[in-house]
Structure 1
Amino acid sequence: MRKVTLITGGARSGKSRHALVLAQANPGRRAFVATAEPLDEEMLERIRRHREDRDPSFLTIEEPVDLGKALRSLPADVEVAVIDCLTVWLGNLMHCRRDEAGEPPELRELFALLAAPPCDLIIVTNEVGMGIVPGEAVARRFRDLAGRINQEVAKRADVVILMVSGIPIIVKQEAM
């Protein structure tokens, strides 16, 4: 049975690093699904650092929008995949669909894939709901959708980890 692990936490809390540690504990073939796009110098530098942190044995798939396609295209021998990260992916979706109201259909596809994942998944996301209420409508919509996605993924996950200052706190762990 495939295992889904969700790692959440604030910015720079150690989520990505912990996801890599968990993935590297799996002796099988590993993949890394990157959702970030280098839209500015800061993001380019962040992506560069993430690449340096990642073991070169990871198969890297860069897919900013079609996460379902990225997961379906994983080679059959991949045993674990890190998805980094859901909130960046959501921002990309909202940018692509900025003139559309409602929930992006890609969310339903993600939730369906979690019911029968192609391999063990370690999913990184940001906990964005603990701060102040954003002043802009689009930022409130992002925060609300991110909260809903995180809840739905956590509900389906076997393990949920909250990262606080680099320390993993197990929030949920179902017997396998």
Structure 2
Amino acid sequence: MSNSQLFLKPGFINVPLQNGVGRYVIQLQRVVLKFCKNNGSSRGMREFIEYDLMNFAKENPGIVVYLKPRRHRTAVMKAEYLNGDQQWLSCRNFTREEIMKWLNLFKTQQKNHTGTRIRKLFHTDHPSIQGPWTPFTFRNPALNLAVFPNEKLSEPENLDKSSVDELVELFKKQKLEELENARATN
């Protein structure tokens, strides 16, 4: 464990099970847009509300959008998720395009894990320092830059033998050895 994780509260990842199996459920439940009617740093938020908010609300009927005007304060966006997590974002001097970009990001992400040290359901006294195994661990790095279909990579000497071919070869070797042993004993 690194020193940066010592002061974080431990917790488990809490996401809905099988999200996306029947249908995808957007995790963003509620958005609160706080802005000032007069402050210059809230201009982008006011423009977003005037021109783009109705379209966003029509495209995302499952997300509740609240507007909260406040005097002499900078614009803030608060996102609340189905699992109870909240995210705050200061929108000081943001343009309406930036606000739309951040709303789409909040809509597509699950939750903010930056304040939680993720706990595992297992423990080992000797953790691996090499990282987890993936199917790409021992692959040829030349495949990263190859453009497929590739004539050079599809040549027979570059293709691995199938397990059936290897078993047939082992069977033939075994039969040859048995024949040689039988000849040697006769």
| Structure 1 length-normalised TM | 0.24
Structure with larger RCO (C-alpha < 8 A, sep 6+): 1
Which structure shows the higher strand fraction? 1
- The structure number with the bigger radius of gyration is 2
Which structure shows the higher helix fraction? 1
| Structure 2 length-normalised TM | 0.23
